[in-house]
Chains A and B, each alone.
Chain A
Amino acid sequence: MKTDFQIPRKRRRIPLMPLGLARTMTTIGFLLLYIPLVSLVVYSFLSPLGAPGGEQEWTLQWFRKLSANREVLHALKVSLMVGIWSTLGATGLGTAAALALTRTRFPGRKILNALTYVPLIMPEIVLGLALLIWFVLLQMTLGVISIILAHITFCISYVIITVKARLHGFDEFLEEAARDLGATPWQTFWRVTFPLIWPGVLSGALMAFTLSFDDFLITFFTAGVGSDTLPLKIYSMIKFGVTPEINALSSIMLGVTLLAVLFLFHPEKKSNEI
C-alpha cells in the first residue's frame, strides 16, 4: 500500500497493563458513536410500530414520502445555495488574507491575526446573536443573504488557517525565477503561485462548504421566514413531531457524508506527497 512508505511501519504498542481497559473503553466509545446512527438508519427502513412488541416490516415508504416533500427539497436548495456562495466568498477573502498575512508586514497585521481566531473560540451562540442584533440594527431583511453573510464570517477563519499552513514553507524563489524569466506579476501568480497553493485552497474551500452546510446555531439566529436551511428544517420537523420521514432524510444525509469521507480520504494522501 502507498501509505506504508509515509508512516513508519514499526508498530509500537507497549504492553501497558491498562491495555485491556483501553481496548474496552475504545469499544465502548465506538459503540456510543455508532449505535444511535445505525439504529436510525435501520428505523428508516422499517414500517411503523403498531402495538408495542408488534412485528415490523422492511419498507421504502418513508423515502417515497420524503421525495414528495417539497419543503425539504426547498430547504436543500437553500442549503446548497448558502453553501456555495459562502464557500466562494470565504475562499476568496481568506486566500487573499492568508497570502498577505504570511508575506507582508503591514499595520493591523496583529489585529487580523487575532480576529482570525475569534470565530473559532467563541461559543457559536454568541456570534449568532451578535450578528442577529447587527442585522436588525442595519434594518436588513433576515433571509438567505443574511445567512450567507454570517456563514462567510466564520468560514473565512478556517480558510485563512488552512491556506496559511500550505504557504508555510513555500519557496518564494520559484516566483523570483518566474519574474526573472519575464513573467508579469499576474502571470506569476496564476502560473506559479496559485497551482502550488491550490491543495490548501481546495481543502479550505471544502471545509468552508461542510461547515456552512452543517451549521445550525448561527443559521438559527440569522435566518428569516421561509429561508430554512436543511438543518433548520430537520430541527423544526423534530420539534413538530418525530416522523419516520426524518429517519429517511437522515439516512440519506449519512450516506452522502460517508461517500464524502471515503472520497476525500483518498486524494488527500496523494496531495500530501508533493
Chain B
Amino acid sequence: MKLITIDPITRLEGHGKIDIFLNDAGEVENTYFQIPELRGFEQFCVGRPVEELPRITTRICGVCPEAHHMASAKACDAVFHVDPPPTAKKLRQLLYNVFYAGDHTTHFYALGGPDFIVGPSAPAAERNILGVVRKVGLEVGGKVIEMRRRTQEVLKILGGKQTHQVTSLPGGVSKGITPEEAKQIEAHCLWFVEFGKFTIQAFHNIVLSNKEYVDLILSDAFSHKTYYMGLVDEKNRINFYDGKVRVVDPEGKEFAKYSPAEYLDNVAEHSEAWTYLKFPFLKKVGWKGLVDGKESGVYRATPLSRLNAADGMPTPLAQAEYDEMFKTLGGKPVHATLATHWARVIELLGATEMALDLVRDPEITGTHIRNIPDKVPTEGVGIVEAPRGTLTHHYTTDEKGIVTKVNLIVGTTNNYAPISMSINKAARGLIKRGTAVSEGTLNMIEMAFRAYDPCFGCATHALPGQRPFVLRIRSKDGEILEEIRRT
C-alpha cells in the first residue's frame, strides 16, 4: 500500500488535507479528505447576549461574513419573535445580493475559471488569474478588480464595514440609506448587471463553445447522483435570503420542503474520528456512508443544487440562462459537478438583477428600519443560502436573551460528504494502474473539489505568481517512493 498525502491543500476554506491510498497494483484503494481544525464557536457563543451573535459569528468566515451576519440576524429575529419592517428586510437583501455577485465573481475568474479559460492541462504556471488575463486581455482583469472594488464599496455603505458587517440587529437594521446613497448604489448595480451579462457571454465563448470542455463537464468521473438542497420563495424560485428549504431527490422530484424551524427533522450530522468536521445528511434517508444514490442521505448544497432544487429564477435574464442550461445539459436535475460553474454565473447574473430591483424599490430609503422587540426571547432558527451552501443558525436563550445553546450547520460543511466522494471518484477515475501520476492528473482531481468553491481561492484573483505543487508518494513507513513537483 502506498500513501499519497497533499498537505496542506491550499486555496481552500479552512485548512485541509487529502490522503490517497494506492494498493500494490497502483490503483486507488481509498481516499480521505481530512479537516484538521475546529474553533468551537458553538460552545463559546454560549453566555453571550444573543444580539451580539451577528457580530461574533461573522468571524466564522471572513470571506462570507455576510452569510453568517444574515443567518444570525434572522435567528435573532426568530428568538425575539419580531419581524423587521419591510425597509429593513430589503436593505438586508440588497446587501446580500451585492455580496453574492462579488463573491461569485472572484470564484469564477480566479479559482474555477482558470481551469477552463486557460485549460485543465495547461502548464500549471499559466493556470491562474494571470493566465486568465493573458488569455482574455487586461481589460477583463481590470473589470474583475473593479467589480470587487464596487461590491466592497456598497457593502461598506450598507453593512458599516466591508468585512465583518455590523448593521443587523434583532428586528431590523441600525442604519438606513439616504436617497443620495441609493442613487450611488443604483449606479453600481447597473454596472453589476452589465458585468453579469458579460460573464455569461464569457462562459459561453470560452467553455460552452469548446466540445472538449462540455464532454469533460458531462463525464462520469465528475458526476454524482445525489439529493439537492436550496432555499426557495413561495413560487419555488431561488431566493438567497429568505423562504423555505427545498430538497429534490436524484430524479428531481420534491423530497422535502421545510421552514427553518423544522431543520432538525430533516438534517442530521455524522462524525468520524479521523477528521474534525462532521458530515451532514438527510435524516429521513439516513447515513449510508460516502455513497450517492437515492438510498443515501448525502445531499449537495451548491449553486447547481439550488438551480436543481428550484423551479426557476426570480429575474428575467437569469431565468433565460437557467432555461438554456437545463436545455443544453439534458434536463433537470443536472448531476455533473462541473456544471456548478455554469450555475454559479447564472446566480451571479440573478444577484445583480435582484440588487438593482431592490435599490430601485421606493421603500429602500424608508426611515422605519427597526421594530424594537417586546416579547420574551426563547429560541429561533435562521437560514440563508450562503454561496457555498444552505447556512443554518439555531439559537436558544434564557428569558433575558443570553445564549444557552448554539447549533450551526455551515455552508461548506453541507458538502463535506460529496466533496470527499468527488475527490475519491476523480482519483479512481484518473489514477490508473501502471500509469505515472502526472501533474495534469492532479489538477483534474483538484477540479473535482474546486467546483464546490473552496472559498479561500477567491484570494488569488489579483495575485500573479505560480502555483507550485508537491506530491509525495510514500511507503507506509514514510519512505518517499515517488515525488511529483509542478513549479
Are A and B interaction partners?
A: no
B interface residues, Cβ below 8 angstroms from A: none
